[in-house]
Structure 1
Amino acid sequence: MNGVKKDLLNRIKERYNKLSKGQKLIADYIMNNYDKVAFMTASKLGEKVGVSESTVVRFANALDYKGYPNLQKELQELIKTKLTTVQRLELSSEYSEEEFIRKVMQADVDNIMKTIDELDIDSFNCAVDMILKAEKVYILGLRSSIVIVHYLAFYLNIILEHVHVVPWGSNDVFDQLIKINENDVLIGISYPRYSKKTLEAVKFAKEKGASIIGITDSYIAPISDIADMTLTTKSTMTSFVDSLVAPVSLMNALIITLGMKEKDKITKTLKDLENTWEKYDIYLNK
């Protein structure tokens, strides 16, 4: 689903009168339960509606999808931004406790595997070069993304000289970015439900001439329209909590790659840190 293509629900409304009786039953069920259908198999949907699995497949074809999985994928993209946290919580009520524990952890594994399969190595390496060439690196993200921001900043501060986390407090975020310029890079982290404030700040930095690296869940995510380079990870949600496992894994890959390119420099820094930690008894000694 992209910015110009109408989403699934609108497509159903437009073609409803041309659907068969069984297909209309499917359409009605999706319109009223799209949050649940996003995670149903074709056979399960057919069972719920009272039609055959083949009817579900033909329904997808009638809406110009190559198959039911393509329709389902678009529906999952749709609900990322339209479901409230309460609606997302209700998705988990259909599973037993043991099923849900395994489902959540398996979803995290799937997110990492899909991220590996779809990773654009050229874009990744280009982002690394952009960071290394920048005079200053700014990192920005809101809400649950703040966790990723501080994790990334913690390690980049060991590797690079000028790393700035854009804070969200009493001061206006635009004040924090007022000195950003064409020699700098802003890493913007944006996952569903996409924060308007994050996008506004990224646009501001772009207008100031900074290069933008967008880290998000899809090339059709809003930040991708602004970014000079976009890195994507899967972040399929299972309940009200966003899965940040794949994004953090990407951060690890980014940090380690940057560290290897600056190995001589960070070796000295790490030695100094180890001496400091020992001097001030930072870590527990066995």
Structure 2
Amino acid sequence: MRAKDIRAKAGVEPITMLTAYDAPTARLIDEAGIDIALIGDSIGNTRLGYDSTLPVTVDEIASATASVARATEDALVVADMPFLSFGADEADAVEHCGRMLKEADADAIKLECGPHTIDLTRTLTQLGIPVQAHLGLTPQRENETGLFRQGTDDESARRIVDLAREHEAAGAFSLVLEHIPANLAATVTDALSIPTIGIGAGPDCDGQVLVIDEVIGLSERVAPFSKRFGDVSSEMRDAIAAYADAVESGEFPAEEHSHHEPDLDDVY
């Protein structure tokens, strides 16, 4: 899968996208036929123990991206650029984004967007780095905007539509819309030729994305716009408890789990 393949799905076929942070998860996502594996900066509060996405580093995203890429054959691998890896100095931003393709084998990068990322999107795409834009709720700006629904008034809604058009013109191959009113997401989708991918943005986007931990039931909480489709946490809890019981009772390891070397019986 390439960025141009995702672009071609706009209005034609629903796009599926999930986060992935490691090789085993990426392999399962790929086998299920998911179109896009996103190494989200949500790795910070799902896997790395941070309270938010803000502490996530370029090195952490690069390492996770490489592990996902090694396990993926068909899905488009998209690296989510973390807080302050872009937006200050364009040369540094290009280097950080380019590293994801050169060193971590990503197929594209994602930027949490605003007016400051229009020119950067144009530069990156001209250099051959596919860009997925992201508007609406942008968690990297949580200290400014809070983690609340965006685009709920006329002015902010128009700003999202305008920014969406500007990022499309700058070369973005797709656009994530997070936690905005469904009717606004429908308006943005109609206004663009590139596909929109919603998360808490209603059913009229060209695709949907969720955090894998919420989908499989690994997280303690689920966002109000998300849904649990499984209960991996309970399965893990039961398996871990069964292991502890087996060790404490002496049931494990059994004879079939051990190897004996006859020549070593008389070592002493």
What TM-score comes out, normalization by structure 2 length?
0.26
Higher strand share: 2
Higher helix share: 1
